Amino acid sequence: MIKIDISLLIFFYILFSAVVILLVWITAGYKEKRDFSLKDVEYIWKCMVCSNVYINSRHEDISECPLCGSYNKRD
Ligand SMILES: [Zn+2]
């Protein structure tokens, strides 16, 4: 008969829980990251005057460059 120590049982229980939480966290993190990067592409603007690349999260046809202050139109 195999004798199992209660502390060993608790250790494995905590380890298993941690692995499950970690897996869920990583999976959720990857999904969130992918969604963010897809959304992020829409927000990237390139200034026609100074070629500055910046992010404007507002969904507008015209965006103001934070560097030179000129207005850029959505392609
Ligand atoms: Zn600019």
Report residue 65's pLDDT band, with 50, 70 and 90 as the boundaries.
very high
User: How many angstroms does the Cα of residue 35 sit away from the middle of ligand 1?
Assistant: 28
Distance CA 42, CA 51 (A): 17
Helix, strand and coil percent figures for the chain, each rounded to 5: 50, 15, 35
Task: For strands 53-55 and 71-73, give the pairing.
Answer: unpaired
pLDDT score for 66: 94
User: How many angstroms does the Cα of residue 37 sit away from the middle of ligand 1?
Assistant: 23
SS3 42: helix
Domain range annotation of the chain: 6-73
pLDDT score for 37: 62
- Please state, rounded to an integer, the average pLDDT across all residues of the chain: 85
Range 13-39 average pLDDT: 81
User: How many angstroms does the Cα of residue 57 sit away from the middle of ligand 1?
Assistant: 17
